Amino acid sequence: MRATAVSLCGVAALMTGLVAAVPSAAGTDARSAPRTAHTPHTLTWKKCATKDHPRLQCASLKVPLDHDRPHGEQITLALSRVQHTAKTYQGPLLVNPGGPGGSGLSMAGFVAKTLPKKVAAGYDVIGFDPRGVGRSKPALNCRPGHAKPVRPATVPYTHALEKANIDRARAFAEACGSKYADVLPFIDTVSAVKDLDAIRAALGAEKINYFGYSYGTYLGAVYAKLFPDRVRRMALDSVVDPHNVWYDANLTQDFAFDARHKAFLAWVAKHDKKYRLGTDPAKVEAKWYAMRSALAKKPAGKKVGAAELEDTFMPGGYFDGYWPFLAEAFAAYANGKGTGPLVEAYENFGAVDAAGDNSYSVYAAVGCRDAAWPRDWEQWRRDNWQVHAKAPFMTWNNAWYNAPCAFWPVRSLQPVDVTNASVPPVLIFQATDDAATPYEGAITMHRKLRGSRLVVEQGGGNHGITLSGNACLDGHLAAYLTNGKVPESGGEVDAVCKRLPEPKPRSAARGAAETGAAPSGASGSGAELHGLLGFRG
């Protein structure tokens, strides 16, 4: 799971809610158990409408930095909402796009607009920026410009390359510790879950409905563990493996991304008439790696080196609607037509702005705090070279992305065991070929949440599959949110949906119209959702 970098901006009526204490989850830090009542807060909602979301409202909520000290230092959460319009009110539906580090403010407008009107009308759809993110305060930005090009090549074939990347990771960790020493101990999933319950209380709701993507599935599962009596309905899409938080999850991810990259290259080979890179996927793959080697020596436009190339093509593992753009950039470079399209693709898909700096800072802070990471670099070196031998696409890129955790200035907690027999039926959605959250994680989550139901997109490879144009998946989600109806097969998988068709290459006319529009102009259904989910979340 990698951090997202999307933002925007918020509902009336308030009351207090008391948090019933529940026992500490097995294997968790003592702070994981809720202990205190929420302080009464009044939410003041103001219009923050956009062209795409004309009914959006925004508010802010004060919560304790340390929930064990409710009257201590306070931080601010940014909230958004689209109010219900139906006479029958189903309560708040909290939505989260993942990360950790993803801004959720725009998600409220998107979900309210994309769900069937009759379904959305029954809910107050609530978005939020988790602590440290976006418009919440303080918003973390540990080392502005950390991802500025051109970075050292990621595959550490030389001692100098390895040292340069280690030095960058250590510098990031030290910058976070220096700037946010008082905050970092409280940027973690359990603290964010307690924020969710503070939001529930401020909304005056006894229970919440919840809909999360990617890391948001883990956030929801931890909420359900700590507050099972506060959950009414919960839908989880593209599921984190709760057994592998977080070091092992990233190693598993590397294999899945490599397979997804091969699927992209096979698609390029299938459309040789358009891209002229050959009909043999293995030879197309060789050309891609030749491009990476060449860019390591001479970056395109003084911006796109080997590391930036990986950053540019990695989003194709999240959403195949990006494939036509990426294929055109690849073909232009490999066929000797110039570097312009590749630089443009990097600026659209790989470049990191200030919002991305913030997302990455929170991603690192949560991930490094949530669970133990190896502190001995020898283990990182050994594990990642072993994985790289079989999955060379982004193993080392992923390793350096997470490497600050080897030097993190705050001790790690233990992950929450999300095993749960008390929560109402949870509806889980998963694509079989998802790279960011591989399929096995959904099976694990399904087994841990007793009574949950699993809906699978067979052959699908996108990360985030509901509200993306698949009517079968969306039908299950709509039925669940309408009346709690869930599929039931009696087997491991409760329902299977066919995947959406692969994208088609852009025509010359479409290409001219969409030049400069990626990723917002991405091909295929689901482009808006994947713009919100981001690429590393």
| pLDDT tens for each residue of 503-519 | 999 986 455 444 444 45
* 373-389: burial string, b at 16+ Cβ within 10 Å, e else: beeeeeebeebbeebbe
The confidence score (pLDDT) of residue 2 equals 62
pLDDT tens column, 320-354: 999 999 999 999 999 998 999 999 999 999 999 99
For residue 126, give the nearest of 6, 240, 2, 12 by alpha carbon: 12
What is the residue whose two structure tokens read 């909602």? 45
More confident position, 441 or 9? 441
Query: Could you tell me the pLDDT band of residue 461, with boundaries at 50, 70 and 90?
Result: very high
Return the structure tokens found at 55: 């009914």
Task: Give the mean pLDDT of 159-176.
Answer: 98
The confidence score (pLDDT) of residue 526 equals 87
The confidence score (pLDDT) of residue 42 equals 79
290 by Cβ neighbours in 10 Å (0-12 / 13-18 / 19+) ranks as exposed
Spatial distance between the Cα atoms of 439 and 8, rounded to a whole number of angstroms: 31
pLDDT tens column, 39-67: 667 799 999 999 999 999 999 999 999 99
Task: Give the mean pLDDT of 163-180.
Answer: 98
For residue 174, give the nearest of 346, 364, 13 by alpha carbon: 364
What global pTM score does this model have? 0.92
pLDDT beyond 80 at 29: no
The confidence score (pLDDT) of residue 57 equals 98
* 488-505: burial string, b at 16+ Cβ within 10 Å, e else: eeeeebbbebebbeebeb
pLDDT beyond 90 at 534: no
Cα separation values, 213 from 143, 346, 407, Å:
27, 25, 29
More confident position, 307 or 30? 307
Q: Which of 32, 60, 80, 214 is catalytic?
A: 214
Go through the chain and tell me how many residues it has. 537
The confidence score (pLDDT) of residue 30 equals 39
pLDDT tens column, 367-424: 999 999 999 999 999 999 999 999 999 999 999 999 999 999 999 999 999 999 999 9
The confidence score (pLDDT) of residue 516 equals 41
The confidence score (pLDDT) of residue 522 equals 55
Between 306-313 and 395-402, two packed helices, what is the crossing angle to 10 degrees? 100
Q: For residues 256, 261, 265 and 270, what is the CA-based torsion angle, rounded to 10 degrees?
A: 50
515 by Cβ neighbours in 10 Å (0-12 / 13-18 / 19+) ranks as middle
The confidence score (pLDDT) of residue 39 equals 66
The confidence score (pLDDT) of residue 507 equals 86
Question: For residue 175, what are the contacts with CB-CB under 8 A and spacing of at least 6?
Answer: 142, 143
pLDDT beyond 80 at 13: no
Task: Give the mean pLDDT of 222-238.
Answer: 98
More confident position, 78 or 490? 78
Q: Which of 38, 146, 261, 463 is catalytic?
A: 463
Task: Give the mean pLDDT of 314-325.
Answer: 97
pLDDT beyond 90 at 215: yes
The confidence score (pLDDT) of residue 23 equals 31
The confidence score (pLDDT) of residue 26 equals 35
Spatial distance between the Cα atoms of 329 and 323, rounded to a whole number of angstroms: 10
pLDDT beyond 70 at 521: no
Task: Give the mean pLDDT of 79-98.
Answer: 98
463 is known as an active-site residue: yes
Spatial distance between the Cα atoms of 197 and 37, rounded to a whole number of angstroms: 10
Calculate the average pLDDT of the chain.
91
Q: Which of 188, 311, 434, 494 is catalytic?
A: 434
The confidence score (pLDDT) of residue 511 equals 52
pLDDT beyond 60 at 18: no
Spatial distance between the Cα atoms of 246 and 531, rounded to a whole number of angstroms: 24
- Amino acid identity for residue 286 in this structure: A
Name the least confident of 15-29, 102-116, 173-187, 369-383. 15-29
pLDDT tens column, 110-142: 999 999 999 999 999 999 999 999 999 999 999
Helix/strand/coil percentages in the chain, nearest 5: 45, 10, 45
The confidence score (pLDDT) of residue 8 equals 32
pLDDT beyond 70 at 15: no
Spatial distance between the Cα atoms of 51 and 56, rounded to a whole number of angstroms: 10
pLDDT beyond 60 at 28: no
